[in-house]
Amino acid sequence: MESLSRASVPAGALIGASAPLDPARAGIIHLGLGAFHRAHAAVHTARALAAEPGDWGIIGFAGRSRAVVDPMSRQDGLYSVLELSQTGRRAGVVDVHRGFATMADQPDRVIAEIADPARRILTLTVSEGGYSRSARTGDLDVGRPMIREDLAAPDRPRSVIGMLARGLTERSTSGEPFTVLPCDNLPAAGATARRMVTEFLERSAASDDVLAYVREQVAFPNAMVDRIVPATTPQTSQEVAELLGVHDEAPVRAEEFTMWVIEDDFPGGRPAWEQAGVTFSDEVAGYEEVKLRILNGTHSLLAYLGALDGRTIIPAAWDQELIRAAGTAMIRRDCLPTIEVPAGLDVEEYIDSLSRRWQNHTLGHRTSQVGSDGSMRLPQRIPTPALHWLRRGRMPHLLALTVASWFAAVVPPTGYDPGPVAAAMTDPDQAMLRGIAEGARSPAEHARRLLASGCLSEEIAEQDAFIDRVGELLGIIVASGPLAAAQEAIEASETP
Dist CA 93 CA 12 (whole Å)? 9
- The pLDDT of residue 20 is 83
Residue 2 in this model has a pLDDT that exceeds 80: yes
Report the SS3 class of residue 97: strand
End-to-end CA distance of the chain: 63
Dist CA 464 CA 457 (whole Å)? 13
Dist CA 330 CA 211 (whole Å)? 43
Residues 6+ apart with CB under 8 A from 60: 29, 30, 33, 37, 69, 72, 97, 99, 100, 101
pLDDT tens column, 62-86: 999 999 999 999 999 999 999 999 8
Residues 6+ apart with CB under 8 A from 442: 413, 471, 475
Residues 6+ apart with CB under 8 A from 115: 167, 170, 171, 173, 174
Angstrom CA distances, 302 to 313, 404, 409, stand at: 10, 13, 12
Are residues 23 and 57 in contact, defined by beta-carbon separation less than 8 angstroms? yes
In 442-481, where does DSSP find H-type helix?
443-452, 458-461, 464-480
- The pLDDT of residue 109 is 97
Residue 375 in this model has a pLDDT that exceeds 90: yes
pLDDT tens column, 415-447: 999 999 999 999 999 999 999 999 999 999 999
- The pLDDT of residue 200 is 98
Residue 290 in this model has a pLDDT that exceeds 90: yes
- The pLDDT of residue 338 is 96
- The pLDDT of residue 241 is 96
- The pLDDT of residue 19 is 80
Are residues 68 and 34 in contact, defined by beta-carbon separation less than 8 angstroms? yes
Average confidence (pLDDT) over 310-329? 98
Residue 495 in this model has a pLDDT that exceeds 90: no
Q: How confident is the model at residue 135 (pLDDT cuts 50, 70, 90)?
A: confident
Average confidence (pLDDT) over 12-37? 93
CA-nearest of 351, 346, 349, 315 to 330 is: 351
Residue 496 in this model has a pLDDT that exceeds 80: no
- The pLDDT of residue 216 is 98
- The pLDDT of residue 279 is 97
Q: What percent of the chain has pLDDT over 70?
A: 100
Q: What's the pTM? A: 0.91
* Sheet strand arrangement including 218-219: 97-102, 58-62, 28-31, 121-124, 178-182, 218-219
Strands 28-31 and 121-124: parallel
Round the average pLDDT of the chain to a whole number and report it: 96
Average confidence (pLDDT) over 198-223? 98
CA-nearest of 455, 348, 351, 333 to 388 is: 333
- The pLDDT of residue 259 is 96
- The pLDDT of residue 138 is 87
- The pLDDT of residue 165 is 98
Tell me the domains of the chain and their CATH numbers: 14-280 (3.40.50.720), 284-493 (1.10.1040.10)
Average confidence (pLDDT) over 234-257? 95
Are residues 154 and 204 in contact, defined by beta-carbon separation less than 8 angstroms? yes
- The pLDDT of residue 352 is 95
Are residues 475 and 448 in contact, defined by beta-carbon separation less than 8 angstroms? no
- The pLDDT of residue 187 is 87
- The pLDDT of residue 54 is 95
Q: Residues 416-430, buried b or exposed e (16+ Cβ, 10 A)? A: bebbebbebbebebb
Residue 240 in this model has a pLDDT that exceeds 90: yes
- Please give the DSSP secondary-structure letter assigned to residue 147: H
Residue 13 in this model has a pLDDT that exceeds 90: yes
Residue 270 in this model has a pLDDT that exceeds 80: yes
Residue 344 CA to chain centroid, in angstroms?
23
pLDDT tens column, 159-204: 999 999 999 999 999 999 999 999 998 889 999 999 999 999 999 9
